[in-house]
Amino acid sequence: MMNISKTATRVFKQLSVGLMLITFFASCKKDEPVATEKEPVTSTRSLDMVPYYKVQRVENLQVETDDSNPTAPKPEVLFSLDYKKMQPATYGKTSFWDISFSGLYNSFMGGNNGSNSDNAGYTGPGAGGITILAKSFEDLTDIPVASAFKTARALIGTDDMGEFGVGIGWYLYDFNGSIVGDGSYDKKHVAYALGNAFTLANGQKTQPRTIIVRTAKGDFAKIKMISCYKDVFTTDKMMRNTPHMFFTFEYVIVPAGSTKFEIK
């Protein structure tokens, strides 16, 4: 009987120690910080969409123009920042585009908003808007408040620094060729993108402009407009007869809810 009792006691002790070890390791596992890190936001983007926080460049995006009849309206152009491509007009009432080019020479930009009747996206799901600030692309880090974003089409185009300005715009129009150029024939009727600073004919330097977009899906993008001339990216090579309108610009997208533009 003594042997059986000793054996039972030993087994009981072993079982108790084993149970304590199991409880200890289970509690350790619970405390491990394996689930505290959130999945990166970029993983929510489909493979055919541009990633968040990465600068994208678009070169020579061609829109229709007619120098013989420049004031005649041309078909509005829809562009997706998410997919980095032009979208067909049939996508107008969808969230698959973020900025539009319309108005004179298709040089005025707007966002995609389904609640504004003066918008190509009217009645669609687009929740977008657009604004512009007199700040460089690199220095602009704060995302504006919601009330700063406008929702009509053809909002941002000619800047007050040039002729026919309508406030802060993304380009300076040099009608007589003497604001930026030397007044010669080749420098008349030239449009200069204001994404980068450059020197005027009077020696003054321009202040850069950056466009901010709330996309159709509610993310945020900032855009630096560089040129509207084919394969030409500096003011000295922009001439009256240089092929146009071929938009070149850079942009970066950050997720909805962001308060800052980050580039990673």
Please give the pLDDT value at position 235.
Answer: 97
> 103: helix, coil or strand?
coil
Task: Tell me if residue 247 falls in helix, strand or coil.
Answer: strand
Ramachandran category for residue 202: left, alpha or beta (phi over 0 → left; psi -120 to 50 → alpha): alpha
Q: Spell out the per-residue pLDDT of the chain, length 264, in tens.
A: 334 444 444 433 443 434 343 343 344 333 433 333 333 334 468 999 999 999 999 999 999 999 989 888 899 999 999 999 999 999 999 999 999 999 999 999 999 999 999 999 999 999 999 999 999 999 999 999 999 999 999 999 999 999 999 999 999 999 999 999 999 999 999 999 999 999 999 999 999 999 999 999 999 999 999 999 999 999 999 999 999 999 999 999 999 999 999 999
pLDDT of residue 214: 98
The residue among 82, 80, 74, 62 whose CA lies nearest residue 103 is 74
User: If you write DSSP's letter for every residue of 56-72 in order, what string do you get?
Assistant: EEEEEEE----TTSTTS
139 phi, psi to nearest 5 deg: -85, -20
| Predicted local confidence at residue 71, as pLDDT | 85
- Domain segments of the chain: what residues? 2-35, 41-254
Nearest to 79 by CA among 120, 114, 116, 133: 120
93, 114 contact by CB (below 8 A): yes
pLDDT at residue 73, as a whole number: 85
- Report in angstroms the alpha-carbon separations of 228 from 107, 121, 128, 137, 160: 9, 24, 24, 18, 18
